[in-house]
Amino acid sequence: MRGPLSAVILSLACSAIGVPAPDAAAAYPNPLALQGPSFFVHDPSLVQRQSDGKYFLFTTHDKGGILTATQLAGPWTEVGSILPNDSTIQLPGRDDIWAPDVSYHNGQYYAYYSVSTFGSQNSGIGLATSPTMDPGTWTDHGLVIQSTTGAQYNCIDPNLIVGGDGVPRLSFGSFWNDIFQVQLGSNLQSTVGSPAQLSYNATGSHAEEGSFIWQRGSYHYLFISSGTCCGFDPNNLPAPGDEYKVFVGRSSSPNGPFVDKSGVDMRKTGGTLVLASHGNVYAPGGQAVFHDTKSNKDIFVYHYVPVNSPSPYNDSYATLGLNGIDWSSGWPVLTSL
């Protein structure tokens, strides 16, 4: 989950991991049409404030960029950053926050975030908290977990899940041995025990990252992004299906094992395809799930590269994607909003 730019931009406009069938794209619904001016969005985390229902959107770069809106369709407004004075984590990238994951617990909003540089395992996951999510209200608590060169995992792309058992767990990971999970202490700031692997793609460069776990009924669903996320050359694009796309597995437990629709373990290159490139949507990923209290719907949240941007396939125009989710089959199927 690594977007290429730090500046806000002008315009917002198969069951196993691998290449989706060429005609599969026709089945994907288009994302919600967004109103008003638009901004660079990558690795989005979407939260509705408890007090007034206002929407807060958090994104990679801009030191944990914050945008707000009163309607999902916008218009969205850039209002500031989580950590305008940089992270206290003393690692390269502390001035360029990645992939914030924000949720509400214990009367506070918790933002887990990544500090790293592109292609490095010298990475850390930190935590900041706020009573309101407004800029200027965030307190940085610093490092939660760190990885170094040669570790089994890479500590970026955090996601907090407090499962049906009430135990807080943090999933994370990017490439290397892919997705891991570690239990957190009751303060949500310290780790308990050692991380365990949740998902692994044995093919190619092991390109999995951006894990997100969502509980629906008796199941916990593990979503991951797989493939090339960014830095596309429109004259030399990845082979079709090698760009970003989203897969899922499920488990009755928040710590797995997660299996796909065919029963293949996510740790053994399993995964059911949820979303891939189609139409104007290229390389969708960086996903999350959000429950909208206004519509009483679960919303699939992601970024994508719009093909019809001023510079086609240029991920400096990465934008917000929103779709509904149909759970009636026991698996997430995206719908229009």
Average pLDDT over residues 85-96: 96
> In DSSP terms, which residues pair with 103 in a beta bridge?
110
Tens-digit pLDDT profile for residues 2-51: 433 322 322 233 333 443 433 344 489 999 999 988 899 999 999 999 99
- According to the model, what pLDDT value does residue 261 have? 97
Distance CA 207, CA 174 (A): 7
- According to the model, what pLDDT value does residue 204 have? 86
* Confidence check: pLDDT of 76 > 90: yes
**What is the signed CA dihedral for 103, 231, 26, 21, rounded to 10 degrees?**
-110
- According to the model, what pLDDT value does residue 45 have? 98
Check: CB of residue 274 under 8 Å from CB of residue 248.
yes
Check: CB of residue 78 under 8 Å from CB of residue 96.
no
- Residue at 269: amino acid letter: T
- According to the model, what pLDDT value does residue 7 have? 29
Tens-digit pLDDT profile for residues 170-185: 999 999 999 999 999 9
Q: In the numeric block, which tokens belong to residue 237?
A: 């694009």
- According to the model, what pLDDT value does residue 19 have? 39
**Which residue in the block uniquely carries the two structure tokens 């799930």?**
289
- According to the model, what pLDDT value does residue 113 have? 98
User: pLDDT tier at 165 (50, 70, 90 boundaries)?
Assistant: confident
- According to the model, what pLDDT value does residue 12 have? 32
Average pLDDT value for the chain: 92
**Which residue in the block uniquely carries the two structure tokens 């692997």?**
197
- According to the model, what pLDDT value does residue 22 have? 35
Tens-digit pLDDT profile for residues 298-334: 999 999 999 999 999 999 999 999 999 999 999 999 9
> Which domains, ranges and CATH numbers included, belong to the chain?
44-335 (2.115.10.20)
Tens-digit pLDDT profile for residues 243-254: 999 999 999 999
Exposed/middle/buried for residue 23 (C-beta within 10 Å: 0-12, 13-18, 19+): exposed
Beta strand extents in the chain (DSSP E only) = 45-48, 55-59, 65-69, 77-81, 98-105, 108-115, 123-130, 139-147, 159-162, 168-172, 179-184, 191-199, 208-216, 219-226, 245-251, 272-275, 281-292, 297-306, 319-326, 333-335
Q: In the numeric block, which tokens belong to residue 256?
A: 């797995």
Name, in order, each residue with C-beta under 8 angstroms of 23's C-beta and a sequence gap of 6 or more.
none
DSSP character for 232? -
- In the chain, the N- to C-terminal Cα span, in Å, equals 25
Percentage of the chain with pLDDT > 70?
92
Percentage of the chain with pLDDT > 90?
89
Distance CA 183, CA 287 (A): 22
Is residue 209 part of the annotated active site? The answer reads yes
Helices (H), 86-170: none
CA-nearest of 326, 327, 281 to 304 is 281
List the catalytic residue out of 178, 208, 209, 265: 209
> In DSSP terms, which residues pair with 303 in a beta bridge?
285, 320
Tens-digit pLDDT profile for residues 183-238: 999 999 999 999 999 999 999 888 999 999 999 999 999 999 999 999 999 999 99
Half-sphere exposure at residue 143, Cβ-oriented, CA atoms within 13 angstroms: 12
Is residue 43 part of the annotated active site? The answer reads yes
What is this structure's pTM?
Answer: 0.93
Check: CB of residue 79 under 8 Å from CB of residue 110.
no
- According to the model, what pLDDT value does residue 25 have? 42
Check: CB of residue 149 under 8 Å from CB of residue 123.
no
Distance CA 75, CA 226 (A): 30
> In DSSP terms, which residues pair with 209 in a beta bridge?
174, 225
